Homo-oligomer: A and B are copies of this chain.
Amino acid sequence: MFTFKPDFTTGIIGFGAFGQLIANHLAPHTRLKLCDPAHDVMQLANGQNFANTAIGEIAKCDFIILAVPVDQIRPTCQALNPHLLPGSTVIDVGSVKLEPLQIMQAELPDFTPIVGTHPLFGPQSAKDGIENLQIAICPTHGPHHRLIATFVKRLFKLRPIQISAADHDKEAATVQGLTHLIATVLIEMDLPETRIKTASFDLLNQAINMVRDDAPCVLAAIEQANPYAAEIRDTFFTTANRIRQRLQPDPLLVGNNTSENGPCTTIP
């Protein structure tokens, strides 16, 4: 059974929106180091300041979390590789899992345990706390994924879902792919404010607002790095176009008040 050293260190690479979210939650539980060349000083919500730590120092942490865009995982692993020593675990938090895990396995030393995770929340959905939210954890060789699952369950009351990287990406193509696709369309339509509202439209807007401020690389990861996303997207567009055809008024039927869409009450 794994236990945590009392003074274990965690290095987070990337201080974007998600890196900050992780840093804020982890800070009370670990000796934290942050690496993001875009910042000289990184400030947490509690006011704590962190200097930028060099990648060689981050490599010596017990846990190294890659909070970088999916397309930056390879260069980040290449930069970490020469500095890694046995005993460090590398964890990613990307919105897809097949590609990051393949890259980490290819680019990191054989002695480095790897865990693929996908916290199923973002700055918006986590703003009232992360308790009971899900984190997908994809097992690789070795028992380290169980350590991470126990850790997030005990400390943050997250709900870890153990799932293969392929199954994760298949499901995420629906869950995230469709939501972000629809949100992107509606945001780009720049809908006017309306006086009349319905419960379902309010829910739709709440869904959109959850992902509205996601960084563009999040959409890129979800829609492009996920190998199943294109298929779900194609099904969405094919279905949408079929419905579009069905809804176009047939010019031959203009003036004919009979609904083609029965059964609805016919009166009198």
Residues of A within 8 A of B (CB): 13-16, 19, 35-38, 55, 67-69, 71-72, 74-76, 79, 118, 120-121, 124-125, 133-134, 136, 161, 163, 167-168, 171-172, 174-176, 178-179, 181-186, 188-189, 191-192, 194-201, 203-204, 206-208, 210-211, 215-217, 219-220, 223-224, 230, 233, 235-237, 239-244, 247-249, 257-268
CB neighbours (8 Å) of A240 from chain B are 181, 185, 237, 240
**A194's closest neighbor in chain B, by CB?**
B171
Secondary structure class of chain A's binding surface, majority of residues:
helix
Q: How far is the CB of A73 from chain B (nearest CB, A)?
A: 9
CB neighbours (8 Å) of A200 from chain B are 125, 179, 183, 206-208, 210-211
A259 x B201 contact (CB < 8 A): no
How far apart sit A262 and B219, CA to CA, in the bound complex (Å)? 11
CB neighbours (8 Å) of A216 from chain B are 259, 261-264
Number of identical monomers bound together in the oligomeric complex: 2
CB neighbours (8 Å) of A188 from chain B are 239, 242-243
A261 x B194 contact (CB < 8 A): no
CB neighbours (8 Å) of A223 from chain B are 247
How far apart sit A17 and B209, CA to CA, in the bound complex (Å)? 32
Q: How far is the CB of A18 from chain B (nearest CB, A)?
A: 9
CB neighbours (8 Å) of A181 from chain B are 240, 243, 247
- Given known pairs A267-B35, A268-B79, the reply for A197 and B174 (CB within 8 Å) is no
How far apart sit A184 and B239, CA to CA, in the bound complex (Å)? 9
CB neighbours (8 Å) of A263 from chain B are 215-216
**A191's closest neighbor in chain B, by CB?**
B174
Q: Find A69's partner among B125, B194, B195, B265 (CB 8 Å cutoff).
A: B265
A176 x B163 contact (CB < 8 A): no
B210 x A199 contact (CB < 8 A): yes
B196 x A168 contact (CB < 8 A): yes
B79 x A261 contact (CB < 8 A): no
How far apart sit A124 and B233, CA to CA, in the bound complex (Å)? 29
CB neighbours (8 Å) of A120 from chain B are 196-198
A264 x B171 contact (CB < 8 A): no
CB neighbours (8 Å) of A183 from chain B are 200
CB neighbours (8 Å) of A220 from chain B are 259-261
- Given known pairs A200-B207, A220-B259, the reply for A233 and B237 (CB within 8 Å) is no
